Chains A and B, each alone.
Chain A
Amino acid sequence: MSSADLASERDLPPEREASVKGDIAPEHDGPRDTGMDDAGLHRWLTRTWRTPPGIIGALSSVDHKVIARRYLITAFVFLCLGGLNAVAMRIQLSGPQRGLIGPDLYNQLFTMHGVTMMFLFAVPIVQATGIYLVPLMVGTRNIAFPRLNAFSYWIYVSGGIFAWVSFALNMAPDVGWFAYVPLSGPEFAPGKRADVWAQMITYTEVSSLAVAVATIVTVFKQRAPGMSLDRIPLYVWAMLVTSFVVVFAMPAVMITSTFLILDRLVGTHIFNPAEGGDALLFQHLFWFFGHPEVYIIFLPATGMISAIIPVFARRPVFGHLGLVLSLIAVGFLSFGLWVHHMFATGLPKLGASFFTASSMMIAIPNGVQIFCWLATLWDGRPVIRTPLLFVFGFFFIFVIGGLTGVMLASVPLDLQVHDTYFVVAHFHYVLIGGSVFPLLGAAYFWFPKISGRMMSERLGRWHFWLAFIGFNAAFFPMHLVGLWGMPRRVYTYPAELGWGNINLFISAGAVVFFLSFVLFTFNLAHGALKGALAGDNPWDAGTLEWATSSPPPSYNFARIPIVTHGEPLWAEREALPVATGLRVDVRELLISTVAEAHPDIREKSATPSIWPLLAAIAVGGTFVYSIFTPWAVAWGAAPIAITLIGWFWPKGDPEDEE
């Protein structure tokens, strides 16, 4: 079938005339999928939903899978860059008084490592996984607000480039990933380095907030018929709760970074105690975001575990309701913990006790989750494959990180080990154990869906053991060296302290951990090129993303599936019930009710557009310019307004007009 045929089909929809009835808005119509044969349906939907060819077409794409793939690859590149930062630091610290890296570069290295891992890797990659999977798992054809989603990617990638170009220009932030004032304020951080930190925050938070809103609306309004609240997959629940945490946490850090820029650029005194401001206010504002941030990274990982375990335990998850309630409880409690990052600031004792209590309380819903997973495995017949191995790695590492977390929740111990390598060990156990290991398991689990091919199981096992041993070798001794008193963020230490051998051992572990990622990269590339064909559902899983082909077509599902069970593909093994009646000549998808997911509206989904990219360039240019002059906001307003009008102004597509 040639493109000319497709074009002529699009030009000939029957009954395109609007029917006008008084004050009622016009109704349009076109060909429907009802009774259409599979080949014809495929032709129509491909024509309607494809990303246009060519470079402009690629830059205009609004397909959630295309955007998510870009996000995943970009975030992986930033993971590698952040990892190289870490390797450089470990080489410098491998022996006492090594002269490879000086203090100034070292400050930039640890700041860039933290900033890259938190803002350019961890949050974007969990959101990207959601952008790919949530629409498939809820049985819809695209994410809500697809152009906003495309915009979020362009903003994210420009923020990342901005930070790393600054690093190449010796202008990278050097004030730590949380950039406390007064160190980052106008008095102690001349130059533009702290501004780069503040503005990079703005980019990444705008992007995360946009994705969070799109995810929430996708889950609320675009679920397949029958997917009532109790049938929403746990991974989707996790992404929903995470998105809510993003919506209420990220504005805090945007306000913080904006206040910092104002103090530095136009001379406000918000953080200046000499003129009625307060330096601790910065820490409160930052950690009001910063603690939920940990859960923004961790909750999606628990969702991944809840998706992986039932498939390999060969039974539905134990305690579905308990797991959902735990997710919601963790989401709420994550806002009540921020002060435990500030125990060393001399806060009133009663306040500190409250935050100790809430820090310990959040262990309860997390514990419920872990026991539900163990019960699922206990009662199932586990098939040990690579994704499950990484889940086991998660259990081991995250539980150790959780135990040191309970220790740190106690104020006297926290004061003793504050700013030492004990804390570095703790948060790497929590973050890498709690998020990176599940992410690696998820990569093996969903790679066949994304690429259509399997990754090597043999290499996967090698990868797991290399990562597990390398990680523990690198980070477990940090507990010890921290208890011995080694402070974090020092570029070297004298030989007399006797920390040389253990640091050499840590560096060797870091190299092994790094090599595990080299092996992972090879396995990804090898799998994408030469892996065995996966088929639709290689793991015999039960959720909707496995009901379509691998990789999924641009329109995700030829017909919208109907959900009758929490694991719909396990419940309907003969044939999947589907809905018909949607138009095929325009991008139509189904809007359903929030609680019961009753079909409600046939809504049009936005067509590809170059304007989100142009808007991102206008917004990004304004952000960069604004670290030099406040007038950037005035100059940038016109291009931003023009690109936004271009974005929203209807171009005559039925998707815009009807």
Chain B
Amino acid sequence: MKQRPSLDLSALPTFGHGPRSPTWWGTLGFMALEGMGFAIAAGAYLYLATLWPNWRLSAPQPNHWPGTIVTLLLIVSLVPNHILHGYAKRCAIGPVRIGMVVMSLLGVAPLVVRWFEFPALNIYWDTNAYGSMLWVLLGLHTTHLITDVGDTIVLTVLMFTRHGYSGRRFGDVGDNVFYWDFVVLTWIPIYLLIYWMPRLG
């Protein structure tokens, strides 16, 4: 078919942040489907909880303190996370490197406390369905935490190599910030379900 050039794209930039970038939309897509997974798991928990009048099924209450510490750590981490986002948008390589190191540490810290959360549930996964659902919910979020912290550490290393100083990498940092928000955000309802809903009953 014959062609008629009628638009010049040569002045367009080669990368963009946020909703301009396809990776941002891809990240959003994965958040949507993973968020749906969380919602379904939480729905299953609530379904069982409303089905049985004596929910908690005579199990002891979970100790909320490790979970509360994780929650506080996660909420505090949002501040440097968003400062890092600002640096990434400005393509400031030095501050971005420092910010990535800080975020790696702030990712590992809740993971360490998470280790103490499982025994603090005060029930095993194979005791009854209540125990099973607590372990499933906590396990689901821990999987997200581990994969995102792993991803953050690899990206931090990458930012210190010669590959770091490019628009594409600054975009990656922006998407990493975005995904961490999601990891923190999904924790809040799960925290309430695991530690505070059993106290209601």
Contact = CB atoms under 8 A, between A and B. Distances in A.
A25 B163 contact: no
A197 to B, nearest CB: 19
Given A216-B25, A579-B6, A579-B8, 20 more contacts: A24-B91, A27-B14, A145-B26, A214-B26, A217-B29, A251-B36, A263-B132, A268-B126, A269-B131, A277-B132, A281-B47, A560-B9, A575-B4, A576-B3, A578-B6, A581-B8, A649-B163, A656-B163, A658-B14, A658-B168
Interface stretch (B16-24, B70-78, B101-109, B179-187): B16-24
A362 to B, nearest CB: 21
Instruction: List 8 A-B pairs, minimum CB-CB distance, nearest first.
Output: A581-B10, A276-B129, A268-B132, A581-B9, A25-B167, A213-B29, A267-B126, A277-B129
Nearest to B48: A278
Nearest to B9: A581
A626 to B, nearest CB: 13
Interface string A4-25: 0000000000000000000111
B1 A576 contact: yes
B136 A259 contact: yes
A578 B12 contact: no
Contacts of A25: 15, 91, 165-167, 170
Given A225-B7, A266-B126, A569-B1, A650 B163 contact: yes
B22 A580 contact: no
B11 A216 contact: no
A269 B131 CA distance: 9
B165 A270 contact: no
A23 B90 contact: yes
Interface stretch (A463-471, A480-488, A597-605): A597-605
B10 A255 contact: no
B132 A575 contact: no
A557 B56 CA distance: 61
Contact of B168 (A221, A537, A656): A656
Interface of B: 1-16, 19-22, 25-26, 29-30, 32-34, 36-37, 40-41, 44, 47-48, 51-52, 57, 90-92, 125-133, 135-136, 150, 154, 158, 163, 165-168, 170
Interface centre among B34, B51, B166 (most CB of A within 10 A): B166
Given A270-B133, A579-B5, A591-B16, A276 B10 contact: no
Contacts of A217: 22, 25-26, 29
Interface centre among A217, A278, A579 (most CB of B within 10 A): A217
B173 to A, nearest CB: 11
A123 interface: no
B60 to A, nearest CB: 15
B150 A641 contact: yes
A285 B16 contact: no
B125 A268 contact: yes
Given A262-B132, A262-B136, A603 B22 contact: yes
Interface centre among A251, A259, A276, A599 (most CB of B within 10 A): A276
A547 interface: yes
Contacts of A641: 150
B5 A277 contact: no
A248 B37 contact: no
Contacts of A281: 44, 47-48
A658 B167 contact: yes
Contacts, number: 211
Given A221-B22, A247-B33, A250-B33, A562 B14 contact: no
Contacts of B167: 25-26, 658
Nearest to A559: B3
A601 B3 contact: no
Contacts of B9: 560, 579-582, 590, 599, 602
A445 interface: no
A569 B1 CA distance: 9
A201 interface: no
A43 interface: no
A181 B85 CA distance: 47
Contacts of B91: 23-25
Nearest to A276: B129
Contact of B44 (A270, A576, A591): A270
A269 B129 contact: yes
B196 to A, nearest CB: 19
A577 B11 CA distance: 19
Given A222-B22, A266-B125, A267-B125, A580 B5 contact: yes
A255 B36 CA distance: 10
A558 B1 CA distance: 11
Interface string A119-156: 00000000000000000000000001100100000000
A276 B19 CA distance: 45
A657 interface: yes
A288 interface: yes
A251 B34 contact: yes
A603 B15 contact: yes
Nearest to A557: B3
Given A213-B30, A251-B40, A577 B25 contact: no
Interface centre among B5, B14, B48, B163 (most CB of A within 10 A): B14
B165 to A, nearest CB: 7
A576 B33 contact: no
21 contacts: A32-B10, A217-B25, A247-B29, A254-B37, A259-B136, A267-B126, A268-B125, A268-B132, A270-B132, A275-B128, A276-B57, A285-B44, A574-B2, A577-B6, A578-B5, A601-B16, A602-B9, A603-B15, A641-B150, A658-B15, A658-B168
